[in-house]
Amino acid sequence: MSLNQYIRAVWKQPKENIPSRHRIARMASWRKEPVFQRIEKPTRIDAARSVGYRAKQGVVVIRTRIRRGGLRKGKIHMKRKPSKAGITKITMAKSTQRMAEERASKRYPNLEVLNSYWVGQDGKNKFFEIIMLDPHHPVIKADKQYNWISTGSSHRGRAARGKTSAGKRGRGLYNKGKGAEKLRPSLKANRNRGK
């Protein structure tokens, strides 16, 4: 078993594999940090590498937190069937991960969001680490894996346009196979038959 596979196995079930005192202490220290905290290296190296992280100049890792909850709906008393009351089966238009990416890209306008991953959550917050690239950095421009982000304005505002992995998931573009024929180019196209 390689080191990356071992780390991935530990993070698959953090409650069982990471002692609770470590998790609680870590969250407590993260809550005292600013909302956007630049960090030297990723907390989850396996997740970071799987979404495109490499330790080189021009690649920045930001840890951010975002508030959980807010999806409880009040009951509407308007003489209707209980199933039509609009309480159950209401989902968010955007995931909290996508919102975290958008806020980070707004906070750092000179960087572009490459991808992000979950690192923890407590009762109030969810924590994500966001990998950002500096498109004007000479090392990024010279790198074959990253230089596409420097090739013009078509990659500006990736997070806001749903071009990251979390954004594509929210746009419904990761489903494949039977029943996914009407997903392209968007959920709204094709008479709203996407979802």
**Token reading at 149:** 């982000």
Q: What is the pLDDT of residues 68-104, one digit of tens each?
A: 887 777 777 777 787 777 777 777 888 999 999 999 9
Mean pLDDT of 108-116: 96
Examine the domain organization and report whether 107 and 175 are in the same domain.
Answer: no
Domain span holding position 78? 3-152
Report how many domains make up the chain: 2
Examine the domain organization and report whether 144 and 171 are in the same domain.
Answer: no
Residue 133 pLDDT class (50, 70, 90 cuts): very high
Domain assignment present for residue 195? The answer is yes
pTM of the model: 0.86
Domain assignment present for residue 54? The answer is yes
pLDDT at position 54: 95
Examine the domain organization and report whether 148 and 186 are in the same domain.
Answer: no
Cis status of the peptide bond prior to 82, with omega within 30 of 0: no
Residue 153, exposed/middle/buried by CB under 10 A (0-12, 13-18, 19+)?
Answer: exposed
Domain assignment present for residue 143? The answer is yes
Examine the domain organization and report whether 24 and 96 are in the same domain.
Answer: yes
CB-based contact 141:150 (threshold 8 Å): yes
Examine the domain organization and report whether 137 and 177 are in the same domain.
Answer: no
Q: Three-class SS of residue 181?
A: coil
**Token reading at 100:** 């975290």
Examine the domain organization and report whether 8 and 84 are in the same domain.
Answer: yes
Mean pLDDT of 17-35: 89
**Token reading at 37:** 């905290």
Examine the domain organization and report whether 79 and 142 are in the same domain.
Answer: yes
